């Protein structure tokens, strides 16, 4: 197997995986962001 | 030099940057103390952690330097991206260094130094870390200015300096007010925009040039050195090993990555952030390498003056300019604005993280311990904000007005190595070996400074033709040896709370 074949496979695999991660993390991150603000707001209410 | 950048693209960039600043401003109301300011109340869950980790590590400086590497070395540099991804995956899987640090509940690495070795090691380690870190980001603004110049075709240095000054002021605006909370929220938005922008740019570049043309041109022009990482022209096995070590260091020892672990909600989140983030650690190199390779093919095919300027006889910063100039000529108006907004996001997300990181290290690990830990939380918060502004002022001067003569990569590698060679020994051995002592830690930190010998002119004077990566690996080995030797020769007296964190 040539180096070029290896790098082509690496690049293609990484791009596909990254695309999947972008989708998953974008959706999951939005949910985490909402949870973060909820907890901070509750902590603020507790302090008050 | 021609470019497709139009007023529409400029408007897209300005609206986007203002929206980011407004979001950061919104977060200030939730900041009540240092815990919210520095580690976002330790409430960051895994998906958000991954977004911010990639958002801050995929910086414009990385994009610029990596594109330059791809431009000059072709596919052979891909091994660096693989090393970075594998290192992050292994660190997430094993929890090496980052999980014990999260378990201890520290906010910075020097804070661990004090827990393990005492206050004086924290102050020394904190000072070395902050100085190396601030110097390391000294050229970020310069790289940003070159990107703006390349992609927009602007040539007036005053205009470019004004643009960069406005951008650093925007970053300051939301980082000073909202701290890590602002950074986390804006990094999330920037992760989404940047990831999509870079993927689209890659698709466009490969689709336009054609994969066969890209591989054939690289092979014809660079030969085996364009694909084989072990080729002597690429530094051989030693360079591959050095890059693998840098992969571990950048994920587990570099403070701006570690602060993500410290911000995580749980140990499980730390592991997940690193394992999911491993693809991001690879991609942050791979995509810019690919864009650099495409720029090489583009200007090789263009021939004439552009071929002479960028490929045959590059002068000064020309090879750094090649990738943004290529994007400016390839992408259509509108899409170019979105991609530039994504790239400038990378610039801002790295700056906000680094500014917050080094200012909190100086406050928490140097100034507060020197005051005997008697600074009030409010005083610490104010001090951190003042230091952020001071560092930004230094960067503005250093990057835009100081005539730096060093090569960009030499400068980055050496300033970083001053810290991480010693820190790796202190963290790895201090966390996992009970007999590690404060004398050993001090010796290792001091030994790390030996990495400065790898700087081009000094190296040539002292070691002749010895390559820089051998000097770097030698400094790491010396730091580890000093840590072990001094720990055995000068052990710490027994303490009631002594023990490994692992």
Q: What is the pLDDT of residue B241?
A: 92
* A41 vs B contacts (CB less than 8 Å): 30
* A15 vs B contacts (CB less than 8 Å): 199, 202, 283, 286
Q: How far apart are CA B152 and CA B5, in angstroms?
A: 6
- Decide if A40 touches B, using CB distance below 8 A: yes
- Decide if A25 touches B, using CB distance below 8 A: yes
- Which residue among B41, B47, B286 sits closest to A28, beta carbon to beta carbon? B47
Q: What is the pLDDT of residue B502?
A: 37
Contact B365, B108 (CB under 8 A): yes
Mark yes or no for CB contact A31/B47 under 8 Å: yes
Q: How far apart are CA B249 and CA B256, in angstroms?
A: 11
**CA distances in angstroms from B431 to B96, B117, B479, listed in the order given:** 9, 11, 16
**CA distances in angstroms from B278 to A22, B207, B363, B466, listed in the order given:** 13, 27, 31, 32
User: Residue B132's closest CA among B417, B444, B427?
Assistant: B417
* Confidence class for position A9, pLDDT limits 50, 70, 90: very high
Contact B295, B325 (CB under 8 A): yes
Q: Tell me the three state secondary structure of residue B264.
A: strand
Tell which of B195, B226, B266 to mutate to test the A interface (max A CBs under 10 Å).
Answer: B195
Mark yes or no for CB contact B199/A18 under 8 Å: yes
Q: How far apart are CA B487 and CA B339, in angstroms?
A: 51
Mark yes or no for CB contact B48/A32 under 8 Å: yes
- Decide if A16 touches B, using CB distance below 8 A: no
Q: What is the pLDDT of residue B499?
A: 45
Mark yes or no for CB contact B46/A37 under 8 Å: no
* A14 vs B contacts (CB less than 8 Å): 81, 85, 279, 282-283, 286
Q: What is the pLDDT of residue B133?
A: 86
User: Residue B299's closest CA among B416, B355, B218?
Assistant: B218
- Which residue among A7, A21, A33 sits closest to B276, beta carbon to beta carbon? A21
- Decide if B46 touches A, using CB distance below 8 A: yes
Mark yes or no for CB contact B30/A44 under 8 Å: yes
Mark yes or no for CB contact B280/A15 under 8 Å: no
**Shortest distance, CA B43 to any CA of chain A (angstroms):** 6
- Decide if A32 touches B, using CB distance below 8 A: yes
Can you point out the beta strands (E) in B67-200?
none
User: Residue B378's closest CA among B34, B31, B28, B29?
Assistant: B34
* B78 vs A contacts (CB less than 8 Å): 7, 10-11
Contact B74, B311 (CB under 8 A): no
Mark yes or no for CB contact B51/A4 under 8 Å: no
- Which residue among A4, A29, A44 sits closest to B51, beta carbon to beta carbon? A29
Residue B326: phi and psi, rounded to 5, are -65, -45
Sign of CA dihedral B390, B396, B399, B404: negative
Q: Tell me the three state secondary structure of residue B44.
A: strand
Chain A residue at shortest CA distance from B277? A21
Q: What is the pLDDT of residues B321-376, one digit of tens each?
A: 889 999 999 999 888 998 888 788 778 767 777 888 888 889 888 998 888 767 78
**CA distances in angstroms from B286 to B80, B103, B233, listed in the order given:** 9, 33, 20
Mark yes or no for CB contact B43/A39 under 8 Å: yes
Cα B60 to chain centroid, rounded:
9
Q: How many residue pairs bridge chain A and chain B with CB atoms within 8 Å of each other?
A: 99
Q: How far apart are CA B31 and CA B79, in angstroms?
A: 42
**Shortest distance, CA A20 to any CA of chain B (angstroms):** 10
* B47 vs A contacts (CB less than 8 Å): 24-25, 27-29, 31-32
Residue B33: phi and psi, rounded to 5, are -165, -175
pTM higher than the cut 0.95: no
Mark yes or no for CB contact B50/A41 under 8 Å: no
- Decide if A29 touches B, using CB distance below 8 A: yes
User: Residue B60's closest CA among B180, B178, B151?
Assistant: B151
**Shortest distance, CA A41 to any CA of chain B (angstroms):** 7
**Shortest distance, CA A8 to any CA of chain B (angstroms):** 9
Q: Which residues contact B493 (CB under 8 A, 6 or more apart)?
A: none
Along the 502 residues of chain B, how does pLDDT read in single tens digits?
A: 688 889 999 899 888 878 877 777 776 666 555 555 555 555 566 777 777 777 766 778 888 888 888 998 899 999 999 999 999 999 999 999 999 988 888 877 888 999 999 999 999 999 988 888 888 888 788 788 888 888 888 877 777 777 777 777 777 776 666 566 667 777 788 788 888 888 888 999 999 999 999 999 999 999 999 999 999 888 889 889 988 998 898 888 887 778 777 777 788 888 988 888 788 888 889 999 999 999 999 999 887 777 777 777 665 567 778 899 999 999 998 889 988 887 887 787 677 778 888 888 898 889 988 887 677 878 888 888 899 889 988 888 877 665 555 556 666 777 788 888 889 999 999 999 999 999 999 999 998 877 777 666 677 778 777 777 888 888 889 999 999 999 999 998 876 554 444 3
Contact B245, B473 (CB under 8 A): yes
Q: What is the pLDDT of residue B41?
A: 52
**Shortest distance, CA B41 to any CA of chain A (angstroms):** 8
Tell which of B28, B45, B224, B281 to mutate to test the A interface (max A CBs under 10 Å).
Answer: B45
């Amino acid at each position: 197997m040539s180096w070029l074949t290896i790098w082509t496979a690496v690049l293609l695999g990484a791009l596909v995986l990254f695309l999947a991660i972008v989708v998953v993390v974008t959706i999951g991150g939005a949910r985490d962001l909402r949870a973060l603000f909820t907890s901070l707001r509750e902590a603020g209410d507790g302090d008050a | 030099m021609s470019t497709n950048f139009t007023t529409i693209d400029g408007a897209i960039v300005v609206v986007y940057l203002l929206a980011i600043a407004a979001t950061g401003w919104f977060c200030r109301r939730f900041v009540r103390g240092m815990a919210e300011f520095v580690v976002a109340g330790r409430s960051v869950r895994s998906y958000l952690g991954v977004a911010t980790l990639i958002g801050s590590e995929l910086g414009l400086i990385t994009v610029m330097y990596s594109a330059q590497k791809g431009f000059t070395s072709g596919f052979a540099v891909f091994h660096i991206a693989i090393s970075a991804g594998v290192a992050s995956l292994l660190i997430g899987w094993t929890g090496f260094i980052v999980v014990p640090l999260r378990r201890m509940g520290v906010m910075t690495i020097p804070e661990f130094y004090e827990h393990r070795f005492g206050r004086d090691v924290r102050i020394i380690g904190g000072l070395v870390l902050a100085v190396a870190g601030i110097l390391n980001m000294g050229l970020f603004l310069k790289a940003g200015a070159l990107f703006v110049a390349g992609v927009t075709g602007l040539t007036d240095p005053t205009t470019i300096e004004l643009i960069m000054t406005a951008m650093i002021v925007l970053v300051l605006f939301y980082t000073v007010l909202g701290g890590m909370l602002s950074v986390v929220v804006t990094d999330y938005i920037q992760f989404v925009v940047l990831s999509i922008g870079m993927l689209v740019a890659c698709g466009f570049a490969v689709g336009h040039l054609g994969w066969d043309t890209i591989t054939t041109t690289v092979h014809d022009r660079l030969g085996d050195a364009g694909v084989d990482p072990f080729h002597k022209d690429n530094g051989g096995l030693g360079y591959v090993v050095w890059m693998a070590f840098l992969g571990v260091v950048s994920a587990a020892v570099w403070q701006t990555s570690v602060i993500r672990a410290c911000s995580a909600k749980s140990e499980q989140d730390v592991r997940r952030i690193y394992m999911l983030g491993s693809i991001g650690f690879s991609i942050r190199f791979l995509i810019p390498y690919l864009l650099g390779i495409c720029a090489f093919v583009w200007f090789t095919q263009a021939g004439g003056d552009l071929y002479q300027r960028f490929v045959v006889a590059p002068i000064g910063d020309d090879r750094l300019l090649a990738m943004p100039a290529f994007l400016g000529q390839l992408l259509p108006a509108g899409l170019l604005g979105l991609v530039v907004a994504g790239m400038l996001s990378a610039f801002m997300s790295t700056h906000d993280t680094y500014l917050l990181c080094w200012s909190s290290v100086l406050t928490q690990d140097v100034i507060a311990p020197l005051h005997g830990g008697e600074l009030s939380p409010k005083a610490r918060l104010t001090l951190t904000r003042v230091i952020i502004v001071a560092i930004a002022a230094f960067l503005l001067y250093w990057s835009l007005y100081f005539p730096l003569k060093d090569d960009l990569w030499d400068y980055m590698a050496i300033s970083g190595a001053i810290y991480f060679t010693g820190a790796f020994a202190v963290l790895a051995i201090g966390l996992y070996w009970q007999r590690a002592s404060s004398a050993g830690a001090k010796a290792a930190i001091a030994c790390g400074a030996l990495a400065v010998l790898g700087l081009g002119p000094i190296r040539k004077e002292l070691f002749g033709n010895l390559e820089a990566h051998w000097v770097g690996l030698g400094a790491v080995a010396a730091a580890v040896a000093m840590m072990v030797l001094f720990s055995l020769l000068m052990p710490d007296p027994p303490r009631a709370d002594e023990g490994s964190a692992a």
